[in-house]
């Protein structure tokens, strides 16, 4: 058995994969695969509408929020957010707490002025408290990434802003892993490939009063207004990805909803962090306790900068036991365990068992 701890594309629930497999050649009695279904057909419309309805139910979405199913991943939304929102004042605030928010700010700077509200740091290991932020009162919106996949930094609070300043959030790597009050946000987006489905689909949740504010240069495929008017069918959508994502939404509903996912996430991450914290410095997580991610857990072995030989040995042992994709991102190194919704507590316990045994064998 293989346990996939990848940061994305990531593990999908086995139950969902079996459902997809069973329906691959004859989806919902249509006689054809969803991969060959016309996106204009009534068969696909049922799949599309059901996925949207289930997501609205899971998030308790207010009626004044629209759900768009777009393409281009999070990177596409780095541009789309700016193109659709920055035109109000020509400037935007960016809270940079990791690699992805830094890339988003760089992309947005092509379309307007970007104000970075926290000082630049060499390593991303914490979320600066909001009282230290230098917000621009003229900003069209404030942008942040709720969970930095590379750096393992996750917000432990939702920023509080004046009612006339939209809050924009990249939730790609912790979407549907903990309850949120959508009313606090202007835009939320999430690439599916980390926590809710295969790559190719990006969920965008946007408050309706923010639609139609795009710059004239906005490409059609990134235009919130066009996508909304066409029910995300302006161009051919990633139909197979949307189908699988819809199955994941139903799986989440069967397993306690978002609250259930949150409890699982807390239990799994605590298991690993407890081993790290009780290892007398053998395992080191560089992230401040208050900002430790429940989804992406980075750590070094042997020292703060890592013992390359020990880390290589650990990864080899993990692979020999069927645990794959544990190597840290190339920009930070070390080990990274991604404990997305589909990773079970039992699978996390296997990683914990390996970590404990490896510590016992190498602590001296």
The residues annotated as belonging to the active site are 100, 170, 194
Rounded Cα–Cα distance for residues 73 and 58 (Å): 21
The alpha carbon of 16 is separated from its chain's Cα centroid by a whole number of angstroms, namely 19
Which helix (H) or strand (E) is 86 found in, with range? none
Local structure of 317: helix, strand or coil: helix
Tell me how many degrees the CA angle 191-194-353 measures, rounded to the nearest 5: 165
Beta-carbon contacts of 137 under 8 Å, excluding residues fewer than 6 positions away, are: none
| Residue 341 vs residues 196, 214, 258, 270, 312: alpha-carbon distances, Å | 8, 34, 10, 15, 27
Sequence length of the chain is 364
**Rg for the chain, CA atoms, rounded:** 21
Token pair for 238:
């990633």
């Amino acid at each position: 058995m293989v346990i996939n701890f990848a940061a994305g594309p990531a593990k999908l629930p086995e139950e969902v994969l079996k459902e997809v497999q069973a329906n691959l050649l004859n989806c919902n009695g249509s006689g054809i695969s969803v991969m060959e279904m016309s996106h204009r057909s009534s068969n696909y419309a049922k799949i599309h509408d059901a996925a949207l309805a289930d997501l609205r139910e899971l998030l308790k979405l207010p009626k004044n929020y629209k759900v768009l199913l777009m393409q281009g991943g999070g990177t596409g939304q780095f541009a789309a957010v700016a193109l659709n929102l920055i035109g109000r004042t020509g400037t935007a605030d960016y809270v940079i707490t990791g690699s992805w928010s830094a890339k988003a700010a760089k992309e947005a700077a092509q379309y307007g002025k970007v104000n970075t509200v926290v000082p630049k740091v060499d390593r991303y290991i914490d979320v600066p408290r909001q009282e230290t932020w230098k917000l621009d009162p003229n900003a069209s919106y404030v942008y942040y990434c709720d969970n930095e996949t590379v750096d393992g930094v996750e917000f432990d609070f939702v920023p509080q802003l004046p009612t006339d300043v939209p809050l924009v959030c990249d939730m790609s790597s912790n979407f549907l892993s903990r309850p949120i009050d959508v009313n606090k946000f202007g835009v939320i987006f999430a690439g599916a490939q980390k926590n809710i489905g295969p790559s190719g689909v990006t969920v965008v949740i946007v408050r309706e009063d923010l639609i139609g504010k795009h710059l004239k240069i906005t490409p059609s495929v990134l235009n919130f207004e066009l996508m909304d008017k066409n029910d995300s069918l302006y161009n051919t959508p990633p139909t197979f990805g949307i189908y699988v994502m819809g199955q994941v939404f139903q799986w989440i509903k069967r397993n306690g909803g978002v609250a259930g996912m949150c409890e699982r996430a807390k239990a799994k991450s605590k298991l690993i962090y407890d081993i790290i914290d009780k290892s007398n410095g053998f395992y080191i997580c560089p992230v401040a306790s208050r900002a430790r991610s429940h989804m992406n857990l980075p750590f070094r072995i042997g020292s703060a900068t890592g013992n390359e030989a020990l880390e290589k040995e650990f990864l080899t042992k993990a692979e020999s036991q069927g645990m794959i994709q544990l190597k840290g991102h190339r920009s930070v190194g070390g080990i990274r365990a991604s404990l997305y919704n589909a990773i079970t507590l039992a699978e996390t316990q296997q990683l914990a068992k390996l970590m404990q045994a490896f510590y016992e064998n190498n602590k001296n």
